[in-house]
Amino acid sequence: MYGRTICILGGSGFVGKHLVPRFAARDFDIKVLTRAGARHRELLVNPQVRLVDANVYDENVLRREFAGCHGVVNLIGILNERGHRGRGFARAHVELAQIVLSACMATGVERLLHMSALNADVNGPSHYLRTKGEAVRNVLAAAGQLHVTVFEPSVIFGPGDSFMNRFAALLHLMPVFPLACPDAKFAPVYVGDVVDAFVMSYDDVASFGKRYELCGPQTYSLRQLVQLAARASHLRRWVIGLPNWAAWLQAAAMEWVPGKPLSLDNYHSLQVASVCRHNGLDDFDIRPTPLEAVLPSHLGNT
């Protein structure tokens, strides 16, 4: 055994694959709960990492796996649901967070790090933001019984991300790119900075009971981000910003495309600027990494 044990939900996802080795470097024993451990055996390069096939929505399973753990990290979230009425968002965000809380309290877990999103608010304009906000409210309400910290990043970029890489893939297919909500604002934050904040907060008593917005050093419009993706991929593309009515129609049509590359819920989320009021990276003395410093290295060969 290397030290304290933490259990990570969503550890085989984009952020998780960057977070697991950071915690491993701090001599934690790490248990990653996943639906398909055999597909993520690259995480086992660290001898203190263990993959466990588990249904994270089963509280009895979580109680079994949380037993003996000092901390839990919940990274699970979805950007789109299979349906159209918010039920999938409620299950992935609100219900799961409550199951995690109950299992933590039942097993004596001391520390909980919870991944949310910038603009999470019970009164937000989309199912995504409302359910994220409800989960945050419930998690922070347990701060008196559990040492909780919440992180609310803008869109996260880095090797393996599902944002800039998705645009790069679409740009390869479309010489003319019709873009919904071209003026939507983002402050993209580097995945390495996000996981540094998670790790640095773990033993930081000052972070208990707090929520941290996380942003990169610069604000971009969605149009600018797509244009950056094109340049980093060595593509010359014409990006056409759609007016609001056409953006709504595009989102409504894409609701029914397999994989939902865009949905009405995404459209509603894009109406709120994903920009920090106070950048929580400052609280951990983390200097935000510029998008342009990293983007060419992971999109240049896309």
Enumerate the β-bridge partners of residue 211: 150
Q: What is the mean pLDDT of the chain?
A: 93
**Residue 224 covered by a domain:** no
**Residue 225 covered by a domain:** no
**Residue 75 covered by a domain:** yes
**Residue 197 covered by a domain:** yes
**Residue 223 covered by a domain:** no
**Residue 137 covered by a domain:** yes
Check residue 169 and give its pLDDT: 87
**Predicted confidence (pLDDT) per residue in 7-50, tens digit:** 999 998 999 999 999 999 998 999 999 887 556 667 767 788 99
**Residue 280 covered by a domain:** yes
**Residue 220 covered by a domain:** no
Asked whether the predicted pLDDT for residue 210 surpasses 50, the reply is yes
Check residue 40 and give its pLDDT: 62
Phi, psi of 288 (to 5 degrees): -60, 135
Whichever domain contains 31, its CATH number is 3.40.50.720
Count of the separate structural domains present in the chain: 1
What is the span of the domain harbouring residue 30?
5-156+188-215+275-286
Encode burial over 15-40: b for 16+ CB neighbours within 10 A, e otherwise. bbbbbbeebbebebbbbbbbeebeeb
- Using alpha carbons, select from 33, 19, 13, 197 the residue that is nearest to residue 100: 33
